[in-house]
Structure 1
Amino acid sequence: MLVLEALTAGYGQSQALAGIDLAIGAGEVVTLLGRNGMGKTTTVRAIMGLLPSVGGRIWGGAASFAGDSLLGQPPHRVAQRGLGLVPEGRQIFPTLNVEENLIATAADRDGRGRWTLDGIYDLFPRLRERRRNSGGKLSGGEQQMLAIGRALMTNPRLLILDEATEGLAPIIRAEIWAVLAQLKAEGQAILLIDKNLGAVLRLADRHVVVEKGRSVWTGTSAELESDPALRETYLHL
C-alpha cells in the first residue's frame, strides 16, 4: 500500500528528512518511533501533502500509495486516495458539534464503506452522548475520539495517527488502545506515532525507528523488545 523510499524533505534551506524508508501492507500496523524532533511528524506531513506551501517541500525520494505517487499532491487529493489522518493536536472543528464534525469529512467512494455515524457512535458511545456538543467544549479525550472518528468517516484504506494518546488520562488511553486493536482485528491498515512503547509493542506488526530525519532500524515487536541497546540509543528507554 504505502511505500516511502529514501524520502527527503525540508523547510526552507533546513533539511528535516534525510532518507525515510517505510512500507505498510494491507491490514498491517506499523509505527514510527524516535525521540522528539527526529522527523516523525514531518514524515506524516510529507505523506499527506501538508508541508507548508511557502518554504516547505519534498526534495527527493519517492512516496507512493497503491502504486500512485503522492509527491506534489495536495492534501485533498491524498485523502481521496484513501489516507485518513488523525493529526497531532486533534484539530477538530471547535465551533461545529460532534455530529457536524463527523459529517464534514464523510466519504464512501466505493459504496462499501464500513464507517457511518452509527458505526462511529458504536465505537465511541461517549460521542453519541455528546453529539450535540460543540467540539471546543469536549474534554481532551473526547476530542481525540472525535478526531479518530472523523478520520474513519473518510473510510480510509490507511489510517494515520500522530501521537495517538499523548496527554490523555490513563482510562482514555486504554479505551483508544482497545479501539485500535479492534480496528486492526478488522483489517484496518494503520501508521501510528505514539510514545507508549508497551502499548505499541503489543499492537504493531513492525516498527520504523527514526533518528535525525533518517530511518535507522526496522523490525518486529519481538526484535525491538529483545534489544535494550537499541531502545537506549534511539528511544532513551
Structure 2
Amino acid sequence: MLRVEGLDAGYGEAQILFGVDVSVGEGEVVTLLGRNGMGKTTTVRAIMGLLPAKAGRIAFGGRDLTGAPPFRVAQAGIGLVPEGRQIFPTLSVEENLIATAADRSGKKRWDLGRIYAFFPRLRERRENRGNQLSGGEQQMLAIGRALMTNPKLIILDEATEGLAPLIREEIWNCLTALKAEGESILVIDKNVDALVRIADRHVVLEKGRVVWRGTSAELRSDSAVKDRFLHF
C-alpha cells in the first residue's frame, strides 16, 4: 500500500534522512522507532507532502506521490494524527470531526455515530471546544478526525506523548481495535513494550538511516537493538 524507497529529506542545507525505506501493507500495523531527533517526524512530514523529498520515491496504492502537495496526499487516502494533536481549538468536538469528513477509502465505514461509539467520551464532550478538552480527549479527537476522512492508511506521530498511563492504555486499546477492523496504520511512539503487542513490523531509525527492521517477535527477542537504539 505505502512504499517509501530511498528517501532523502531535510531542512534547508541540513539533510536529515538518508535513503530511508518504509512500507505498510493493507491491514498491517508498522512502527517507526528511534530516539528523539532521529528522523521519524521528518519521514512523516515527507510522506504527507509537508516537506519535499530531495531523493527517492513515495508511492501509495500504486500511485506516485513524490512531490505531491499535502491536499493531494490526503485525497489519496492518508489520514494523519499529527504530533501535538493540532485540533481546531475554537471549534466544538463535533465541528472538529465534521470539518474534514470525507470518504477517501470508498467504503465510508466511519461517521459521527461510529466515532462516538468508538470514543464515548467524545460524545459526552461533543459540544465542548477543542481547547476545553484534556490531553487524552484531544488525542481521541485527533484520531477520530483522521478516521472521519475514511482513510486507507492512518499515520500517528507520537501516539501517546505526554499522556497519563491510563490514557495511554486507552489509546493502545484503540489501536488494537483499529487493527481488528483491518485498518492500515503507521505509528510512531516511544512505548516499545506496547507496540510489540500491537504491531506486525518495526523500522528503527538512527541519525536518519534505517538501522534495523523486523517483526514484533524479532524485536522482543533482540535486547541489543533495544539497548542500542531505543533506550530513551
- Please indicate, yes or no, whether the TM-score normalized by the shorter chain is above 0.5: yes
C-alpha distance in 1 between matches for 2:143 and 2:213: 26
- Give me the TM-score of the superposition, normalised by structure 2: 0.98
Q: Secondary structure of 1:151's partner?
A: helix
Match of 2:16? 16
C-alpha distance in 2 between matches for 1:73 and 1:33: 25
- Tell me, yes or no, if structure 1 residue 228 matches structure 2 residue 223: yes
Match of 1:29? 29
Give the CA deviation at 1:111.
Answer: 5.1
Match of 2:196? 201
Deviates more, 1:138-147 or 1:223-232: 223-232
- Tell me, yes or no, if structure 1 residue 6 matches structure 2 residue 1: no
Q: Secondary structure of 1:91's partner?
A: coil
- Tell me, yes or no, if structure 1 residue 102 matches structure 2 residue 97: yes
C-alpha distance in 2 between matches for 1:32 and 1:73: 22
Match of 1:54? none
Aligned CA-pair RMSD? 1.0
Match of 1:163? 158
* Contact 2:32 2:186 survives alignment (8 Å): yes
Using the aligned pairs only, state the percent identity: 71
Give the CA deviation at 1:112.
Answer: 2.5
Match of 1:38? 38
- Tell me, yes or no, if structure 1 residue 186 matches structure 2 residue 181: yes
C-alpha distance in 2 between matches for 1:14 and 1:21: 19
Q: Secondary structure of 1:148's partner?
A: helix
C-alpha distance in 2 between matches for 1:227 and 1:179: 27
* Contact 2:105 2:150 survives alignment (8 Å): no
Aligned residues: 232
Q: Which amino acid aligns with 2:166?
A: I
- Tell me, yes or no, if structure 1 residue 118 matches structure 2 residue 110: no
Match of 1:177? 172
Structure 1 residue ranges (4+ consecutive) displaced by more than 6 angstroms after TM superposition: none
Give the CA deviation at 1:170.
Answer: 1.3
Q: Which amino acid aligns with 1:174?
A: E
C-alpha distance in 2 between matches for 1:121 and 1:131: 9
